Each structure stands twice: as structure tokens, then as C-alpha cells.
Amino acid sequence: MTKKSIPDVLRIAVAQLNPTVGDIAGNLAKAREARADAARQGADLVLFTELFLAGYPPEDLVLKPAFLAACERAAEDFAKDTSDNGPGVIIGVPLKRKSGVHNAIIIADGGKIIGERFKVDLPNYGEFDEKRVFQPGPDMPGPVNFRGVRIGIPICEDIWGELGVCETLAESGAEILLVPNGSPYYRAKMDVRHQVAIKQVIESGLPLLYANQLGGQDELVFDGASFAINADHSLAFQMSQFEETVAMTMWRRGEEGWACVEGPMSKIPEREEADYRACLLGLRDYVNKNGFKNVVLGLSGGIDSAICAALAVDALGEERLRAIMMPYRYTSSDSLKDAEDCARALGCRYDIVPIHEPVDGFSHALTQLFEGTKEGITEENLQSRARGTILMAVSNKFGSMVVTTGNKSEMSVGYATLYGDMNGGFNPIKDLYKMQVYALSRWRNTHVPPGALGPSGEVIPKNIIDKAPSAELRPNQTDQDSLPPYPVLDDILECLVENEMGVDDIVARGHDRDTVHRIEHLLYIAEYKRRQAAPGVKITKKNFGRDRRYPITNRFRDRG
């Protein structure tokens, strides 16, 4: 190739899209549509995200030979599309080779696959366990020559780990780093990604484009927010968070190498908005990708069910939510009014199903077995379990998914009833502590997030936010009868769960030692409940389930 034929401008389209795990045909159709869009915008190359054709993370699906074969056929078919003289493509796909099954990408241009690269650094921490199903690339990857430009393609963890993949690519002649990612959301993750990218830019001396997946997959939410860092460490472009889009970027070769000179510059949401939108996207995709037409939840007049109702309407529309109030003799008039006001503000269907008869029926049936015992938590839990049974009956009858509404504070200390308020298919606030629930509720009352289907204005009545939280399972009950105030509880739990702090260190923050011991004990003994809980959106750095895997049988206590 002569010097004149080497391009000085490269137009790269970033496909920040929402694939579905296992929907290979659907993901291929989405990729084709994105490539056609990019072609209309004049792209030379389209960069897709990690394992796009399979959906990410595919987990044990990649152990099925039929799945791998279908993914590779889709990659080959997509490569043939590039014979039209349109843009080339870089797209993620699992590939089985003599060296094993790999998390891979193919590069296609001119109607054929011109290269494939394998992920070298397989993550095996937190929500990731790729070493179970993939083999690392047998060799460090070299750059790919795309129309005269030597492109390095490290895959996700290859820029997060310490194997020196980017430096190796630079040393072997790469001019630009294009990174397909499947990086899930947690609070403040954007800052972490930027820091990781800048570190690699400093070490390699090369500009880096970070393309990230979008969408909900079970507990994980991928927030997009793709970006690029130029070799001078400046932010070259920033794509939107939580929004599916194909964005055009322009790269120009200068005396000091390549730089991104054009691209979108979107504003990244602040903390409450980002958390709310993550919960919204996670709920929407779980419901829609699993084929549920609508959802149902118990609307108690409390803060947790109110914010879940708001999320459901924002995610799915008012016509797809059915809210049911299930009063008993301890349900206050305030709760009845607050639940009705919330449903009216959201515009969703609202039904009242009293539970006096089923609860009294259970009590009567158990009279002989319980003779001589005192009433207590068992009888209280009959109320919760009657409500859970009613919601599951509605689910069975009408095909609605039950949205369960317990927050992380309750799930941490076991203040949730198995086969009662824990019944359900998905929990959008499972990883939000109680004080975070309040913060997001206040935020939603003054904001409507982009893409939300719900109304503006106050959708969670002020009285729900202001009143003392209560399960209303006995007269005059409040949560603080048996728990420390939620600001205290949440701080202790965050120390124990997110930060794995010892008792002495938590006490040094100003907490009472006996209280910390008690909360630690409650946290450990509730593990069996959490194992049976519905999945829910990951918001914190360490959620229950994928990130934090403690034994159920566990006698350890920190006696500091």
C-alpha cells in the first residue's frame, strides 16, 4: 500500500445497543439495522460491543455446541454483508477453536472475516465468572490492519487487568485502541471507567475508544455511556447513559498520531437520576425480554411499594400495571388514602382486596395446633403470606409478573417474609437501602427521566415520604420499634456489606457496639432468605447474589 492510499480520516460509528442473551437472530437483525444506519451517516467502520451476537453475559449457554455454532453462523452471515462496499464491522461473538471456547471478536470487511481476536484477561470476581466457561486467548493479540490503519482491539477486561495488553498492542504497531465492553452499572462506575481508560492511554500512548453495551440482563444493567480518550488524556466524546443509539465519530491522523476530532458530548446523569434510570431500565428489560404483558404489585401505602409502582409505570406505562391494596384490621386510614392517591397520580389500575377472611381462616385452621401458645410474629406473618398468595393468584390467572418491593435494608436484616412480601418475579429496588429509596422518591417527584412513560409532577404522595415506615402487622407498629433509625442502620450495613469492615472500625465511626453486633448477626442469619429472593437490579458495588456469596450455614461472628 502506498503512502498516499493510507487514510488520514476514519469515521467510526459506535453501536451502543441493547442485545438479548440467546436471541442470536434478533441480535443479528439489530446489528444489520445499526450498520445500515451507520452507512447512511458515512461510516467506514462500526464498533459493536462485547459478545454482541450472543448477548452478554451468556453464562453457561456457551457450553452448548449448538449455541456456539449458531453464533458463528451469524458472524459469518454478517461478514458477508460487508461485500456491499459499506462500513466494515467489529463485533463480539463466542468462538470455539482448537485452543478452546473464547470470548472473541471478528473484524469483517469486503465480504469476509479479515481477523479475529480473543480476550486474554478473563474476569473472575464480583458479577463475573468467565473462567468457568471461556479459555483465555493463547497469545497476546496484535493489531488488525483495517483499510491501512492498524487497530488494536483489547476486549473489556483486557484494559482493566494488569497483563499489559494495551502496551503490547502499542509495541506491535497499533495506532488506535477500540475496546468492545460489557461493563455493568453500579453507582459512580463512570468515574472508574474513565480512570481505567486514562491509565491505558498513558501507558500505551494511544487514543482509546470505549464502546459499552446497553440494557438489562437479569440482575445486571448495562448503562452504555461509551466514550473516547485522546492520547493527550482529554475526553474526546461522551455518549449518553441508559439510551440506545448509534453515534458517529470522526478520527483524524496528525503528526502525533490519531485523534478523535468529532463526536457527541452528552451529559452524564447525577447520582439519583442514574440510580433511578438503572432501576427503570432493569425492570423494563426483565419484563419485556421475558415476555410478560403486564405486572402486578401490592400497593401498601408505604414508600417501597410506591416507588416500585412509579418505576413500573415509568418503565411499562400505566396500562401495564395493576396495583392491589390488601387491607387488614391493622391497616391505617392513612395507608388506604396514600395508596389510592399514589395509584391515582400514576394513572394505573387500582383494586382493593381485603384479607380479613383468608387470614382469619388460616388462624382458625391452626387453632388446635397453636393451642397454648402466645400470638406473635407467626400470626403477623400470616397477613404477609395471605397477601403474597393473592398476588401470585392474580399472576397465575392473568399472566402478570409480580413485582416484589423489599429494599436492601430489609433484605439485609431479614425483615421480609418468605412466601409473603418476598413473593415475586423481579425486584427493582432490591439493591437500594432505605434512605436511598427516600432519596430517589424525592427526586422522581420533581423529575421525569428521559424515556419514562409515567406522568410528571408528584407521583409519590408527600405523606408517604414523611410518615414513619411500618409493616402494619400489629397495632401502632413502626419499623424503628425493633431496628435502629434507618440512617444508622444503612450506614452499619454499608460498612458490613459493601466495605467488609470489622466491628471495631464500624464502632470507631460512632456506632454503638451492641447495635453493630446485633445487625451483623441479623445479616448472617438472613442469608437463607436472600437465597430464595427474586432477582433485582444491581445498583451498589456489592449486591446480594452475584457479588456477595456468603454461606447459609455460618457461625462466624466478629467479636471485636
Please report the pLDDT score of residue 475 as a whole number.
Answer: 62
Q: Is 430 one of the annotated binding-site residues?
A: no
Q: Report how far residue 310's alpha carbon sits from residue 307's, in angstroms, rounded to the nearest whole number.
A: 5
Active site residue 293: no
Residue with grid cell 454478517, as numbered in its chain: 78
Question: Which runs of E-coded beta strand occur in 98-232?
Answer: 100-109, 112-118, 144-146, 149-152, 176-181, 208-212, 214-217, 220-223, 227-229
Please report the pLDDT score of residue 473 as a whole number.
Answer: 57
Q: Is 410 one of the annotated binding-site residues?
A: yes
Active site residue 156: yes
Active site residue 462: no
Please report the pLDDT score of residue 452 as a whole number.
Answer: 96
Q: Residue 354 to residues 324, 331, 347, 357, 428: CA-CA distances in angstroms?
A: 10, 10, 22, 8, 26
Q: Is 298 one of the annotated binding-site residues?
A: yes
Please report the pLDDT score of residue 480 as a whole number.
Answer: 62
Q: Is 445 one of the annotated binding-site residues?
A: no
Please report the pLDDT score of residue 41 as a whole number.
Answer: 94
Q: Is 183 one of the annotated binding-site residues?
A: yes
Please report the pLDDT score of residue 163 as a whole number.
Answer: 84
Q: Is 302 one of the annotated binding-site residues?
A: yes
Please report the pLDDT score of residue 559 as a whole number.
Answer: 82
Any idea what DSSP says for residue 318? G
Q: Is 189 one of the annotated binding-site residues?
A: yes
- 10 neighbors 44 (Cβ within 8 angstroms): yes
Q: Is 300 one of the annotated binding-site residues?
A: yes
- 49 neighbors 180 (Cβ within 8 angstroms): yes
Please report the pLDDT score of residue 3 as a whole number.
Answer: 47
Q: Report how far residue 166's alpha carbon sits from residue 141's, in angstroms, rounded to the nearest whole number.
A: 9
Catalytic residue among 30, 72, 119, 157: 119
Q: Which residues of the chain have pLDDT under 70?
A: 1-5, 469-481, 560
DSSP-based three-state secondary structure for 251: strand
Please report the pLDDT score of residue 560 as a whole number.
Answer: 62
Number of residues that this document lists for the chain: 560
Mean pLDDT over each residue of the chain, to the nearest integer: 92
Q: Is 303 one of the annotated binding-site residues?
A: yes
- 203 neighbors 196 (Cβ within 8 angstroms): no
Q: Which helix (H) or strand (E) holds 81?
A: helix 65-81
Catalytic residue among 30, 50, 430, 538: 50
Please report the pLDDT score of residue 437 as a whole number.
Answer: 96
* pLDDT tens-place string over residues 445-502: 999 999 999 999 999 999 999 987 665 555 655 656 578 999 999 999 999 999 999 9
Catalytic residue among 156, 166, 308, 348: 156
Q: Is the pTM of this model over 0.85?
A: yes
Please report the pLDDT score of residue 332 as a whole number.
Answer: 87
Q: Is 400 one of the annotated binding-site residues?
A: no
Please report the pLDDT score of residue 162 as a whole number.
Answer: 84
Please report the pLDDT score of residue 125 as a whole number.
Answer: 79
